[in-house]
A and B are shown apart, each in its own frame.
Chain A
């Protein structure tokens, strides 16, 4: 379970303080997924970094499985927008890197990695370098890397946004399959309403206006078959879009 309690993050600039997120409260049950969506500059990535333990100073508390977040204690899988693969490591070494850092030899099970790579369709690419891979393949390696760790939490920053529309939908299905298999609590940030609807059990709409949560939507469409083609999917998407737009307009009115 991931619990975010009254979290605010403020950045100091030369002249004053800038509030990136303010009073965020959020709870994600074990093995759930949560999409964080909102206009650019609303602090989506800041919230994610905060849960990842990457921001040293913040107000409030973040708990993972009842303990305060600490990268050394919990296993936190973080997948950045640029996939975070190291260009000087082969695919296999990139996948293993997390385990090496976590000093978890019991995870260094060749079979797990092999199985994951097969499942992701990258089993033949183990000795290649990231530059030799397409964007979609790099994305698969990044997924293999985080899932191989069997993390307590999986955090993804704009996970599939650099891919073309068709590859993106394919990757979303691959992600869902892996998620079902490994049952990892996942929070991801996206600016695609459709992605939030397809992958998020819970959809958190952040407001750039207040820096806080403007709405949490329990997604009734999650997990349905072929929901992308259904009328409800479009309607729900429109609703979300309007919510985000309303927030934007508020900013302009205030200025």
Chain B
């Protein structure tokens, strides 16, 4: 990330903090504490209380994401490259894609318990469909002509995949993850209010129930920072892997 980009991130953070501070000054209620108090509280309790919760949340996101990529990427490639498979699989995807995944939570919790697996599978389901559709469309958009010189040299599927399919669908794949991740984080928050004593969702809801607004806000800020770290990581990966796009 360039220096100028970092400056804009900082500016956005400063702007949001000022808005927050003004709101707290106007309202003068414990439900909107001053950002200064929250910052103080956060530095006091981060290492002792919040860090473990954020690690739990990050682990669930990472596991769900990894699973979605491992399953979704090959599925998307197969559907994009082999029209016959697409004809069979597309209806399946389209029928299941619109189901709000959160509606499946009770079923997942009954089948996989209220612990880790149902939370990870939830994130997996949210990211999976976006990845499948994006990779498939990325591959479909490759002009057939582009492949002819490779076919005429006897290129096998392995060559075609690594030289064309993978790089061609990578930008769309990364975008899909970026879009799905935001939904995944909000749903994770919700799932973490059930059956766990760890995770940012649990921490924030617990602070709220204890009417400890300072801790609740600290949790919200940390959640937002987790999002920031995830998104900038994705941006960095994209800039590195797809730099040809920015020419």
- State the A residues within 8 Å of B (CB): 49, 52-54, 70-73, 75-82, 84, 86-89, 97-98, 100-102, 128-129, 131-132, 145-146, 149, 155, 157
A82's contact among B145, B164, B242, by CB below 8 Å, is which? Answer: B145
Name 18 interchain pairs, CB-CB below 8 A, sorted by A. Answer: A49-B148, A52-B148, A52-B151, A54-B151, A70-B154, A71-B152, A72-B154, A75-B153, A77-B152, A78-B148, A78-B151, A80-B146, A80-B148, A82-B145, A98-B149, A100-B159, A102-B153, A131-B244
Q: Check A77 against B149 for contact (C-beta < 8 Å).
A: yes
Bound-complex Cα distance A52 to B148 (A): 9
Bound-complex Cα distance A100 to B146 (A): 16
Interface size class of B (residues with CB under 8 A): 10 to 19
Q: A70-B154, A98-B149, A100-B163 are in contact. List 8 more A-B contacts (CB 8 A).
A: A53-B152, A71-B153, A77-B149, A80-B149, A81-B145, A82-B146, A88-B167, A131-B244
Bound-complex Cα distance A210 to B147 (A): 30
Which residues of chain A have C-beta atoms less than 8 A from B151's C-beta?
52-54, 71, 78
Q: Check A102 against B152 for contact (C-beta < 8 Å).
A: no
Q: Check B149 against A131 for contact (C-beta < 8 Å).
A: no
- State the B residues within 8 Å of A (CB): 143, 145-146, 148-155, 159, 163-164, 167-168, 242, 244, 247
Bound-complex Cα distance A145 to B152 (A): 13
Q: Check B149 against A79 for contact (C-beta < 8 Å).
A: yes
CB distance from B120 to the nearest CB of A (A): 32
DSSP majority for the B interface? helix
Q: Check A98 against B146 for contact (C-beta < 8 Å).
A: no
- Tell whether A86 pairs with B146 under 8 Å between CB atoms, given A75-B153, A78-B152: yes
CB distance from A102 to the nearest CB of B (A): 5
Q: Check A101 against B163 for contact (C-beta < 8 Å).
A: yes
For B150, B154, B167, B242, the residue with the greatest tally of chain A CB atoms inside 10 Å of its CB is B154
Which residues of chain A have C-beta atoms less than 8 A from B149's C-beta?
77-80, 84, 98, 145-146
CB distance from A86 to the nearest CB of B (A): 7
CB distance from B98 to the nearest CB of A (A): 30
Which residues of chain B have C-beta atoms less than 8 A from A146's C-beta?
149
Q: Check B247 against A155 for contact (C-beta < 8 Å).
A: no
Bound-complex Cα distance A237 to B196 (A): 82
A86's contact among B152, B155, B167, by CB below 8 Å, is which? Answer: B167
Which residues of chain A have C-beta atoms less than 8 A from B168's C-beta?
88
Which residues of chain B have C-beta atoms less than 8 A from A77's C-beta?
149, 152-153
Which residues of chain A have C-beta atoms less than 8 A from B153's C-beta?
71, 75-78, 98, 101-102, 149
Bound-complex Cα distance A86 to B168 (A): 9
CB distance from B216 to the nearest CB of A (A): 46
Bound-complex Cα distance A101 to B153 (A): 7
Q: Check A155 against B244 for contact (C-beta < 8 Å).
A: no
Residue of A nearest to B160 (CB): A101
A129's contact among B143, B159, B247, by CB below 8 Å, is which? Answer: B247
Bound-complex Cα distance A53 to B244 (A): 31
CB distance from B182 to the nearest CB of A (A): 27
